[in-house]
Chain A
């Protein structure tokens, strides 16, 4: 897997934000390096408010880091020149266009790229079927459940066939059952053509169940990776079953030991604030 150019390489990234009240700058992420090989599924876990999303926005080219560099398949990514064209981004919050029907949301990316309408619709219908939303194309997002909206967002992102998939706690708003269904669907879709995935979550179990590698971040401010764990559980996986296996539990114990202190630190910091 490590052979060839990495799909995504973050080198020595530091993100500082100017404080609103004119006080000292807030350092969200400090000196973070992260490499994702082509076809690799990497999860980043860390306590809440530790700058995980900041890191993802840097990888997407939506945010320019204060320091450090990003390269995508060997090419440098400069945020000022535009977003990461080879990446698809699934947001934590709803990012569907409420004024577009399901199908029109799915084909939005194709439309932006100038794909003829008929061809876009054909692809869109195919994707709706793949995510289990066949026949729901004419519904507006507000007429769908949370799980359906997530699947729609997944189709909207995957229809462009991005080489890199950036996911920011995409399933955190779902109930446990829907969430496990979605995780399995994601794994099935991923297994078809093995994109590189950078998956952000605060849920360690989700991270282990899905990934090839789990990176643990320290509590903020000045977040940096403090652990990098290889997940060598067999694939294909069923996320609800794999949670019971001894291998999973051993990994969970090991990673949690590294994470626990940071989670407590983050909690204490939040309580003090």
Chain B
């Protein structure tokens, strides 16, 4: 509880600092030459707050938020499924893995955000160009973790399952998949964040809906308060998604020892 109090205190201090530094005329300007310049560049916390309240009160935000979340969810799901499938395939097939290795490395080191304009051309300005961008970002995170996870399955475990009579298919289901899952879940936290990045960056580059679009519009009219409001809303929902992944993870990974749990004999 003490920790929670301190955490809230940090937020209050940051907001207070933000307010004091930007409120026009509260303290004499020491960097900008006019009193309202700081507010122009950095926004004002109370105004940001009211923008958010108004968004939710009028319901204006929901359509945009829904689009962004849909893009995120689709990018996340499709990217994860592809990453899982191809990660399993390449990890279990040494030849395919050896052939694909340089291309995988190449695609991974490429700054994939540069693909966004191409996706806009291919998939139009609707949600699919954003989903495609999210998929390319999510895919590699999940892929590498699955690949690693399958590669690091203990040879003992595989030999034991084989001696117990497991077929190749049963090995995949009972050994490789569950073993890879712990790695996958470690990567899903990252993947959710990246799917969000894909959605929002895609919206920046061209869209007619979404929170990224709202932010872009506000930026066009130098409405910094709305920009900050958009950023805050996005952050809050990214945190919520991350928590959702965490709770699914806790439910599915009950077999994993927690650090604090003592061994019961």
Q: Which of A84, A89, A145 contacts B160 (CB 8 A)?
A: A89
User: Which of B136-144, B164-172, B229-237 sits within the interface?
Assistant: B164-172
Residue contact A140 to B165, C-beta cutoff 8 Å: no
Q: Which of A91, A143, A156 contacts B156 (CB 8 A)?
A: A91
Residue contact A60 to B163, C-beta cutoff 8 Å: yes
User: Which of B17-25, B43-51, B54-62, B257-265 sits within the interface?
Assistant: B257-265
| Min C-beta distance of B176 to chain A, whole Å | 11
Complex interface: chain B residues within 8 A of A145 (CB)? 263, 265
Number of A-B residue pairs at CB separation under 8 A: 77
Q: Does B159 contact A (CB under 8 A)?
A: yes
- CB contact under 8 A between A95 and B157, given known A100-B255, A142-B255, A142-B257: yes
- CB contact under 8 A between A89 and B163, given known A97-B175, A99-B255: yes
Q: Does A85 contact B (CB under 8 A)?
A: yes
Q: Does A260 contact B (CB under 8 A)?
A: no
Residue contact A143 to B264, C-beta cutoff 8 Å: yes
Residue contact A98 to B255, C-beta cutoff 8 Å: yes
| Min C-beta distance of B146 to chain A, whole Å | 16
Complex interface: chain B residues within 8 A of A62 (CB)? 159, 162-163
Docked Cα-Cα span, A29 to B2, in Å, equals 64
| Min C-beta distance of A98 to chain B, whole Å | 6
Complex interface: chain A residues within 8 A of B170 (CB)? 112
A49-84 at interface with B (beta carbon < 8 Å): 57, 60, 62, 83-84
Residue contact B159 to A89, C-beta cutoff 8 Å: yes
Size of B's binding interface in residues, CB under 8 A: 25
| Min C-beta distance of B38 to chain A, whole Å | 55
Complex interface: chain A residues within 8 A of B257 (CB)? 140, 142-143
Complex interface: chain B residues within 8 A of A100 (CB)? 255
Complex interface: chain A residues within 8 A of B178 (CB)? 97, 99
A85-127 at interface with B (beta carbon < 8 Å): 85, 87-89, 91, 93-101, 108-109, 111-113
Q: What sequence of 0s and 1s flags, for each residue 243-256 of chain B, a beta carbon within 8 Å of any chain A beta carbon? A: 00000000000111
Docked Cα-Cα span, A140 to B253, in Å, equals 11
Q: Does A222 contact B (CB under 8 A)?
A: no
Size of A's binding interface in residues, CB under 8 A: 34
| Min C-beta distance of A246 to chain B, whole Å | 38
Residue contact B157 to A97, C-beta cutoff 8 Å: yes
Q: Which of B156, B157, B164, B181 contacts A160 (CB 8 A)?
A: B164
| Min C-beta distance of B263 to chain A, whole Å | 7
Complex interface: chain B residues within 8 A of A57 (CB)? 159
Docked Cα-Cα span, A117 to B170, in Å, equals 16
Complex interface: chain A residues within 8 A of B263 (CB)? 142-145
Residue contact B255 to A140, C-beta cutoff 8 Å: yes
Q: Does B73 contact A (CB under 8 A)?
A: no
B27-51 at interface with A (beta carbon < 8 Å): none
Cβ-closest chain B residue relative to A143: B264
Docked Cα-Cα span, A80 to B178, in Å, equals 26
Residue contact A112 to B163, C-beta cutoff 8 Å: no
Q: Does A253 contact B (CB under 8 A)?
A: no
Residue contact A91 to B164, C-beta cutoff 8 Å: no
| Min C-beta distance of A134 to chain B, whole Å | 16
Q: Which of B156, B165, B179, B254 contacts A112 (CB 8 A)?
A: B165
Docked Cα-Cα span, A225 to B137, in Å, equals 58
- CB contact under 8 A between A85 and B165, given known A91-B156, A91-B159, A145-B265: yes
| Min C-beta distance of A97 to chain B, whole Å | 7
Complex interface: chain B residues within 8 A of A93 (CB)? 154, 156
Q: Does A139 contact B (CB under 8 A)?
A: yes
Docked Cα-Cα span, A100 to B164, in Å, equals 15
- CB contact under 8 A between A88 and B174, given known A94-B156, A95-B156, A142-B263: no
Q: Which of B164, B179, B181 contacts A156 (CB 8 A)?
A: B164
Complex interface: chain B residues within 8 A of A157 (CB)? 163-164
26 contacts between A and B (CB under 8 A): A60-B163, A62-B163, A84-B163, A89-B159, A93-B154, A94-B156, A95-B154, A95-B156, A95-B159, A97-B157, A97-B178, A101-B255, A108-B164, A109-B164, A112-B164, A112-B165, A139-B264, A140-B255, A140-B257, A142-B255, A142-B256, A143-B263, A144-B263, A144-B264, A144-B265, A145-B265
Q: Which residues of B contact A (CB under 8 A)?
A: 154, 156-157, 159-167, 170, 174-175, 178-179, 181, 254-257, 263-265
Q: Which residues of A contact B (CB under 8 A)?
A: 57, 60, 62, 83-85, 87-89, 91, 93-101, 108-109, 111-113, 139-140, 142-145, 148, 156-157, 160
Question: Top 6 closest A-B pairs, CB basis?
Answer: A95-B160, A109-B164, A89-B163, A142-B257, A112-B165, A145-B265
A89-B159, A93-B156 given; 18 more Cβ-contact pairs under 8 Å: A62-B159, A83-B162, A91-B159, A95-B156, A95-B159, A96-B160, A99-B255, A101-B255, A109-B164, A109-B165, A111-B174, A112-B165, A112-B166, A112-B174, A142-B263, A143-B264, A144-B265, A145-B263
